Amino acid sequence: MTVGAGVVRVGVIGAGGMGREHITNLSGLEGVDVVVVADVVPAGAEAGAALAGTSVRSTTDPMSVATDTELDA
C-alpha cells in the first residue's frame, strides 16, 4: 500500500489475550480497518471478529489470513 493512500486493511491471527488487545487497539486507529480475525478455536475467532466490528470476518484458518491478497497488513 502506498503511504497516504487511504485505509489499511488488516487481518489479525490469534484472538487470545494479546490478540484481543491488538484487535481493540487496531480497531481504534483512524485509517485502519480490521477485516478478518483468525483463531484455531472457532468461538475465539468469532469473539475476536465481534470485538472488531459488525462486518469483520472470522476464520479458523490462520493461513487464509496470511495469504489473503486483499489485506495490506
Q: What is the CATH number of the domain that holds 38?
A: 3.40.50.720
In eight-state DSSP terms, residue 43 is H
| pLDDT score for 69 | 94
Q: Which of 53, 59, 9, 55 is closest to 37 using CA atoms? A: 59
In a domain, 39, yes or no: yes
In a domain, 57, yes or no: yes
Q: How far apart are CA 63 and CA 11, in angstroms?
A: 11
Identify whether the C-beta of residue 39 lies closer than 8 Å to the C-beta of residue 19. Answer: yes
What's the pLDDT band for 4 if we cut at 50, 70, 90? low
In a domain, 56, yes or no: yes
Q: Which of 67, 73, 72, 47 is closest to 58 using CA atoms? A: 47
Tell me the pTM. 0.89
Number of domains composing the chain: 1
Strand pairing report for 57-59 and 32-38: parallel
In a domain, 73, yes or no: no
In a domain, 38, yes or no: yes
Average pLDDT, the chain: 93
Query: What is the residue range of 17's domain?
Result: 9-66
| pLDDT score for 20 | 96
Question: How confident is the model over 31-73, as pLDDT tens digits?
Answer: 999 999 999 999 999 999 999 988 999 999 999 999 999 999 9
In a domain, 17, yes or no: yes
